[in-house]
Amino acid sequence: MLDFYIIKDDQSKPKYPEQSGLEFVGGLEYKTFDNLQNKGIIDSRFDYYSDFRLGSILIKQIRQNILQKHLQADVDVKKIIQLLDIADLKQSGLIAYGD
């Protein structure tokens, strides 16, 4: 599972999210992540098994991409939209930690 946490854009990356007080917001299974990459929603530079960060600007770009491709109703896309919605609500980015 790829676990996502809320993180402010200007906050430094903690080594371990559980010890830093970051708020867990959800996760993506490998198949979902792979499908999102194949659909062009998540850039291929991001690796499921590595940690990566989605800042608020990148989150806005992902949302635009979803709208341009008319994929709002897609089952896999709905899963990442839930994560993006929480980040928007918290006015933050997301950080992903791979298992």
Per-residue pLDDT of the chain (99 residues), as tens digits, is: 999 999 999 998 887 777 778 999 999 999 999 999 999 999 999 999 999 999 999 999 999 999 999 999 999 999 999 999 999 999 999 999 987
**Could you tell me the domains of the chain?**
2-98 (3.40.1760.20)
Q: What pLDDT sits at residue 14?
A: 85
Predicted local distance difference test score (pLDDT) of residue 21: 86
* Nearest in space to 61 (alpha carbons), one of 40, 38, 82: 40
Neighbours of 68 (CB within 10 A): 9
Strands (E), the chain: 2-7, 24-28, 52-54, 93-98
pLDDT of residue 52: 95
